[in-house]
Structure 1
Amino acid sequence: MADVDLATIAGVRRYLANTRFASHTINALTGGFANFTYRIYLNDLFEGKETLVLKHAAPYVAASGGTMALPTERQRFDVEALRLVRKMYADDDVITVPKVHLFDEEAHVMIIDDCGTDTRTLKQLVIDEALPQTVAEEIGTAIGRFLGRVHAWNKDTSFDMDIFSNNEVGKTISILVTYGRLISTLSGRDNIAALADPGLDIPEGKLAVISKLAETRSREMLSATEVLTHGDFWPGNIMVSLRREPEGSTLRLEKLYVLDWELAKAGLRGLDIGQFCAEILLLQRFYASRWEETSTIMRSFLLAYRGGSGSDEELARVAIAHVGAHLVAWTPRVHWGDKEDTRKMVAEGVELLIGGAEGTLAWLEGSLVGNLV
């Protein structure tokens, strides 16, 4: 159906009309950036479900209105990763991924389970609600164990890494959005308003260390072949379902879903860890009332991950440096707070980059990823 415009609800309705997924109501979902995503309300139940989610990968970034090209092959990695994780996890696990019901590679459409209208991203949940410490700890622990298992799958003789080793687009994107723009961000070449007037005035010695680290990390990312990584592991890609006990006073964790595996690839473990920790740190700093919850999530996440892999100094160095890279590359480009606070976070990112490259073991142990060592 080459004439169907899946960037519109009308086009999606026409695409689904003569399929088992025909729907009476279709709603566009917000919050995504790369794809067109819809909740479809089925005419007839499918495996007992009233709703599913349809994702369409156009050959461009959806949020760009067609001005930023993005290869559609990204969706194949999303589907393959989701199918792989489903084989590893049972439906009654507290953390899982949506089941893939359709993958139309020609139309670039996938239809997956709906996580539910009552779910929120972990980022939004932390912003919205004061979580009991027991729930925060359970969330962090479940995510840490999950990521540890994903990173260990290459040790299973039945696991075939070939498809993920070949995600060159994913590797290139991950390099460009972080290490590829560290120096241009810090030097002022990117003309970011929050970092101008005055400029940051980072000493040349520190810029040289960061430049060398960026080159080294980029080479490592391109040449990685052994470990499966998510590639975009942050609280915005983790959906949380909570439930209240009958008496209404006790909040419990029901389910966690890890979404958006388009950048799944052979990569560096520390980058998944670092991205998650960086975003939790940003929530902690810009939403001060959530200090306890975010601290608990971070600590339990790192301890649970370490419990599966053991102490690892090099992993911790990569992770803490990536926290720094994420703070530098993303904080001034995504609105978190005012100019002064944004500049403080970028400056902190610089110090974490330097510490990851040159810090002593004692410094590393005292850092926010110290629980890895």
Structure 2
Amino acid sequence: MADNNADLTTSADVRKYLSNTPFASHTISVLAGGSANFTYRIHLNTPFEGKETFVFKYAAPYVAASGGTMALPTERQKFEVESLRLVREMHADDDVIAVPAVRLFDEEAHVMIIDDCGADTRTLKQLVIDEALPQPVAEEIGAAIGRFLGRIHAWNKNGSFDMGIFHNNEVGKMISPLVTYGRLISTLSGRDNIATLADPVLDVPEENLDVISKLAEARSHEIGSTSEAFTHGDFWPGNIMVSLRRESEGGVPTLEKLYVLDWELAKAGLRGLDIGQFCAEMRLLQRFYPSRQKEASTIVRSFLSAYRGGSGPDEALARVAIAHVGAHLVAWTPRVRWGDREETRKTVAEGVELLVGGAEGTHAWLGGSLVGHLIM
């Protein structure tokens, strides 16, 4: 293997690393989208198993987008590799939804090479923003994702399934509560000095802050201690790639393939967090791209219906999911540029309502919520 001491943060570094491997490349392009890793599309000098391009991921001991200021253990990559291998082993490969195959894992250099989903794929988030999808396509996308996630969450019911190393993903157990529940009160109280929520600070009744504080403490504890199911840990439309096909340029699209990426936070966790994160991001698309209300609503409805499948209503799951939608709206909306100040504040206020509703709302309220299809 090439120099394992290389700092693989530039295309030149990557080219040198690959030079004496089957993946030696003539062109190396930086891929946008992720923030944790340094990710590239590599164009091989000689095809490998019939493929000319692959994706190269380097896990530095810090968040790539932080410029080295935010530490992040490199062991996260081990969980991603094991997740991809596990899903490919247990999931039907001929399904419309899949995960990339791992072609190389150099644990010492913190490098993985996986199959390229293709330059013509887009994240589900970007796809919904870019174009008005025909309803059958939106329904098929939502249903495929729901079935996929439902199967994964049900694996632990199989006596032969071993959660293995995923019980010990301490990075995942630390990050998941930290970026949501760990900063709910500081976001709402103004301690985090977020411009869109200041002058004045959002008016949240004290009794609601008390409910949210107790929920945040309880949920953070559950995330660190539960073994409910094998979970993805970062399940949102930005980690789902979509490939459409058209019979002719400008023709009506049909769904070709979906790929689920970025499994570094996979762990034994709470099912409702995967469901809630996906629904929260779809809700953000609804709010900030109102012309895409129909597509986003169709995807969410199909997703939840397919996830539930033939099982009965699960109120406990729905409560965790809707509260997590609220937590995501509060913690992330003001930190990621979605839209103007007024709409951002309204979205955070909606998040507060969902957090309180998840904790205290009636069965009827829950049934009418974004995740109502889990119980109705």
TM-score for both structures, normalised by structure 2: 0.98
Q: Give the 3-state SS of the residue equivalent to 2:141 in structure 1.
A: helix
Tell me the residue number matched to 2:182: 180
Q: Give the 3-state SS of the residue equivalent to 2:113 in structure 1.
A: strand
Q: Is the 8 A contact 1:41 1:50 kept in 2?
A: yes
Q: Is the 8 A contact 2:228 2:271 kept in 1?
A: no
Q: Give the 3-state SS of the residue equivalent to 1:165 in structure 2.
A: helix
Q: Give the 3-state SS of the residue equivalent to 1:53 in structure 2.
A: strand
Q: Is the 8 A contact 1:21 1:42 kept in 2?
A: yes
Deviations 1:187-244 (A, max 9, x none): 0000000000011121111100000000110111111124101000000000000001
Q: Is the 8 A contact 1:161 1:226 kept in 2?
A: no
1:169 to partner: Cα distance: 1.2
Q: Distance in 1 between matches of 2:311 and 2:126?
A: 30
Structure 2 letter corresponding to 1:123:
K
Tell me the residue number matched to 1:36: 38
Tell me the residue number matched to 1:203: 205
Structure 2: any 5+ residue segments left out of the alignment? none
Q: Is the 8 A contact 1:34 1:60 kept in 2?
A: yes
Deviations 1:130-178 (A, max 9, x none): 1000000000000000000010111122221120010011011001000
The 5-angstrom pairing of residues 120-269 of structure 1 reads 120-246=122-248, 249-269=251-271
Deviations 1:275-324 (A, max 9, x none): 00000000011101111100100100000001154310000000000000
Deviations 1:46-84 (A, max 9, x none): 111010000000000000111110000000000000000
Q: Is the 8 A contact 1:9 1:26 kept in 2?
A: yes
Tell me the residue number matched to 2:84: 82
Q: Distance in 2 between matches of 1:310 and 1:46?
A: 47
Q: Is the 8 A contact 1:148 1:309 kept in 2?
A: no
Deviations 1:315-341 (A, max 9, x none): 000000000000000000000000000
Q: Distance in 2 between matches of 1:309 and 1:102?
A: 39
In structure 2, which of residues 324, 327, 342 is the aligned counterpart of residue 325 of structure 1? Answer: 327
Q: Distance in 2 between matches of 1:7 and 1:248?
A: 38
Q: Give the 3-state SS of the residue equivalent to 1:93 in structure 2.
A: coil
Q: Distance in 2 between matches of 1:291 and 1:59?
A: 39
Q: Is the 8 A contact 2:5 2:109 kept in 1?
A: no
Q: Distance in 1 between matches of 2:76 and 2:29?
A: 23
Structure 1 letter corresponding to 2:67:
G
Q: Distance in 2 between matches of 1:8 and 1:165?
A: 34
In structure 1, which of residues 81, 94, 97 is the aligned counterpart of residue 96 of structure 2? Answer: 94
Q: Distance in 1 between matches of 2:298 and 2:73?
A: 38
Tell me the residue number matched to 2:121: 119
Q: Distance in 2 between matches of 1:247 and 1:71?
A: 45
Q: Distance in 2 between matches of 1:335 and 1:236?
A: 15
Tell me the residue number matched to 2:71: 69
Q: Give the 3-state SS of the residue equivalent to 1:69 in structure 2.
A: coil
> Which 4+ runs in 1 deviate beyond 3 A?
none
Q: Give the 3-state SS of the residue equivalent to 1:245 in structure 2.
A: coil
1:91 to partner: Cα distance: 3.3
Identity percentage over the alignment? 80
In structure 2, which of residues 367, 370, 374 is the aligned counterpart of residue 368 of structure 1? Answer: 370
Q: Distance in 2 between matches of 1:357 and 1:226?
A: 19
Q: Distance in 2 between matches of 1:231 and 1:308?
A: 24
Alignment of 1:279 onto 2:281 = yes
Structure 1 letter corresponding to 2:366:
L
Alignment of 1:315 onto 2:317 = yes
Q: Give the 3-state SS of the residue equivalent to 1:42 in structure 2.
A: strand
1:5 to partner: Cα distance: 1.9
Alignment of 1:353 onto 2:355 = yes
Structure 1: any 5+ residue segments left out of the alignment? none
Structure 1 letter corresponding to 2:297:
S
Of the structure 1 ranges 62-71 and 304-313, higher mean CA displacement relative to structure 2 is found in: 304-313
Q: Distance in 1 between matches of 2:248 and 2:65?
A: 41
Q: Is the 8 A contact 1:122 1:240 kept in 2?
A: yes
In structure 1, which of residues 6, 9, 15 is the aligned counterpart of residue 8 of structure 2? Answer: 6
